[in-house]
Amino acid sequence: MKTIAVSFPCTREQQNRLVMAAEGHAKVQFTADMDKVQEQECMRNANIIIGEPDLALIRQNDVLEWVQMTWAGTDKYTIKSSDYGFPKHVQLTNMSGAFGIIMSEYAIGAILALYRHFPTYWQQQKNAIWMDAGAEDSLYGKMVLLLGTGDIGSNLAKRLKAFGTTNIGIRRDITKIPDGFDEICGFEQLDELLTRADIVACSLPNKPQTRNLLTKERLLKMKKEAVLLNMGRGGLMDTNVLADVLETGHLKGVVLDVSSPEPLPKEHPLWKCDRVMITPHIAGPSIGHCPATQDRIVDACCENVKRYFLGEALLHKIEDKEFEYIRE
């Protein structure tokens, strides 16, 4: 019988679901309550790991067959580094599809907070100041450019529609228009679309073709009163360049849940810019934050565990082409 190591803390009910999914095929061990030595020993001997163990620990495991991540981003294993690569004989699956709802709520909340001056009013409240913060804005009638039309972008587009926005998505395959989008365009149209967008919402993954996609020239192409939101990966733009653009008075506001480097250095000027909202990579909280999201993660893990032992194709499998290096 095989062994599954689950590295994140689960409720008793979630543990039972995972045990049932593997019943008759594998023993499920939950490492969250183990001490460090026990946990690492369990990880080194598991056939399947659900979680995000360090790459060094994965390479110490000679019987490992599959790693099921609880994150959507696979940078930890797929981005080229000085370390050895992810073992070729080990399958890797991520949690794509579990975070669209919670992240779209984050995006809408952040945009509305900027439009309605909530950060200003929160600061005024601390000092018992009753003062109008000035002209506000509305989502109604805005053109939203979504860089990323997968689970996150699609969920955001569908929810924005209730506010009366026009949603244009950018992606390589323009043959299909997902629900919530008015139009889908290719990356070759990015420069022109940036000049028209009232809001640019980014949920792109970290890949060579997306790094520094939003250059200084492109940021300056955006409307002076546009709002920029990045909840994908920090490498999409240079934060120093962004600070320079904001210093000129360009852009109404910026929402950053990610940055490069991450965390943003304490001395970075973006921390003190009153048109910037910074959150610590929590737009798509994984384990231990939103119970509903954690339930979706456990559901997806259970589904893939069942598929694995039935010999069916795993959901959200990361293919070799998605690694920045040739896997060994």
**What is residue 327's predicted lDDT score, i.e. its pLDDT?**
83
CA torsion angle 206 207 213 214 (round to 10): 0
Report the CATH architecture of 2-98+287-322: 3-Layer(aba) Sandwich (3.40)
pTM of the model: 0.93
Average pLDDT, the chain: 95
**pLDDT, tens digit, for every residue of 205-240?**
988 889 999 999 999 999 999 999 999 999 999 999
Active site residue 233: yes
**What is residue 82's predicted lDDT score, i.e. its pLDDT?**
62
Marked catalytic residue, from 171, 218, 233, 316: 233
Helices and strands in the chain: count of H runs, count of E runs = 11, 12
**Main-chain phi, psi angles of 146, to 5 degrees:** -105, 115
Question: Residue 31 contacts by C-beta under 8 Å, 6 or more apart in sequence?
Answer: 5, 6, 7, 38, 39, 42, 43, 51
Neighbours of 5 (CB within 10 A): 26
Residues 282-310, mean pLDDT to the nearest whole number? 94
**Domains 2-98+287-322 and 100-278 alike in fold:** yes
Active site residue 116: no
**What is residue 277's predicted lDDT score, i.e. its pLDDT?**
97
> Which of 63, 46, 43 lies closest to 55 in space, CA to CA?
43
Q: How far apart are the first and last CA of the chain?
A: 27
Residues 194-209, mean pLDDT to the nearest whole number? 94
Question: Residue 40 contacts by C-beta under 8 Å, 6 or more apart in sequence?
Answer: 57
**What is residue 128's predicted lDDT score, i.e. its pLDDT?**
98
Topology classification of domain 100-278: Rossmann fold (3.40.50)
**What is residue 324's predicted lDDT score, i.e. its pLDDT?**
87
Marked catalytic residue, from 211, 281, 307, 327: 281
Place of tokens 């019987």: 63
**What is residue 84's predicted lDDT score, i.e. its pLDDT?**
77
Neighbours of 127 (CB within 10 A): 7
**For the chain, domain boundaries:** 2-98+287-322, 100-278
